[in-house]
Amino acid sequence: MSLAAPRPGADTGAARPIVEARAIHKHFGPLHVLKGVDLAVAERELVFIIGPSGSGKSTLLRCLNRLEEPSSGSVTVEGIDLLDRRTDLNAARQRIGMVFQSFNLYPHMTALGNVALALRKVQGKGRAEAEARARAALARVHLEDRAGHHPGQLSGGQQQRVAIARAIALEPRVMLFDEPTSALDPELVGGVLQVMRELREDGMTMVVVSHEMGFARAAADRVVFMADGRIVEQGPPAEIFGAPREERTRAFIGQVERH
């Protein structure tokens, strides 16, 4: 099956969205970074957010698990209102896995320890069960033989895959990727993208901020182009990359394609 082919449940609007952000505004002091952004992500959908730096795409992603507090608007994940004070944010965050540009592995723990920590402390699993699940998650990113290594002993690509394992071990309903390959040497990018491709084949709902346009073309259901704190244009990758309607989209695509 081609990755670009639409799959059941992937058609936007029909299914109830897993993640829904409405009218998100975000101010950093005098800076107005997000200017009323709406984004709904359906089950099993892979949404790819592109745009020039400073367009607010990372900030939008970080609003989706409330690492960043939106100044106004609403964010719901599986119907849970993340901005409601009564919401147990720590419980809700287990449904939302996040992978960071700089991996952010815990340097004082082994790969296994990194993956097992939240299983034990948040989900309250015993050591044996947590470690079994952690090993299974490491196997999904093809690093079961690195379980005992510390982050400093792993390559950047391996570290990022451990970070992915740390997130998927909690069995999230959606995964957020914040420029997951931007800090990697070019030869290490492939391994991380391969793991993301496999996650997608397993039906994981994903929101990806990245400059990997080739991956976006091949794997995304929908590409969202952001500029200046707004969504300028969105649609299937063939449309956004092949026949963008907006001038700004055309300019941006033209610039990145030239590289």
Partner 1 sequence: MSNWDRFLDSFFNARVAWEYLPRIVDGFWLTILLALCIIASGLAAGLGLAVARSLGLRPLNWLIVFLVDLFRALPPLVIIALLYFGLPAAGLSLSGFAATWLSLSLVLMAFAEEIIWAGITATPRGQWEAARSTGLSFLQTLGWVVLPQALRMVIPPLTNRTIAITKGTALGSVVAVSEILGAAQAGVSFSFNPTPLTLGALAYVVLFVPVVILGRWIETRFAWKR
Q: Which residues bind partner 1 (CB under 8 A)?
A: 65, 67, 90-91, 93-94, 96-98, 100, 102, 104-108, 117-118, 121-123, 150, 152-153, 163, 166-167, 170
Cβ at position 65, least distance to partner 1 in Å: 6
Q: Which residues contact 51 (CB under 8 A, 6 or more apart)?
A: 57, 225, 226, 227, 232, 252
Measured from the CB atom, is 12 or 94 closer to partner 1? 94
Cβ at position 50, least distance to partner 1 in Å: 22
Measured from the CB atom, is 120 or 230 closer to partner 1? 120
Output the 3-class SS for 178-224.
ECCCCCCCHHHHHHHHHHHHHHHHCCCEEEEECCCHHHHHHHCCEEE
Cβ at position 128, least distance to partner 1 in Å: 19
Cβ at position 114, least distance to partner 1 in Å: 9
**Ramachandran class of 43: left when φ > 0, alpha when ψ lies in -120 to 50, beta otherwise:** beta
| Strand ranges inside 12-112, DSSP E | 19-28, 31-41, 46-50, 72-77, 80-81, 96-99
Cβ at position 134, least distance to partner 1 in Å: 12
Measured from the CB atom, is 95 or 230 closer to partner 1? 95
Cβ at position 112, least distance to partner 1 in Å: 14
Q: Do residues 17 and 78 lie in contact, with contact meaning Cβ atoms separated by under 8 Å?
A: no
Measured from the CB atom, is 169 or 227 closer to partner 1? 169
Q: Which residues contact 231 (CB under 8 A, 6 or more apart)?
A: 37, 38, 39, 224, 225
Helix, coil or strand: residue 135: helix
Measured from the CB atom, is 117 or 136 closer to partner 1? 117
Dist. CA 173–CA 133, nearest whole Å: 17
Residue with tokens 């995304």: 220
Tell me which amino acid residue 93 is: R
Measured from the CB atom, is 130 or 231 closer to partner 1? 130
Measured from the CB atom, is 10 or 98 closer to partner 1? 98
Residue with tokens 């994981």: 204
Cβ at position 152, least distance to partner 1 in Å: 4
Q: 146 pairs with which residues across the strands?
A: none
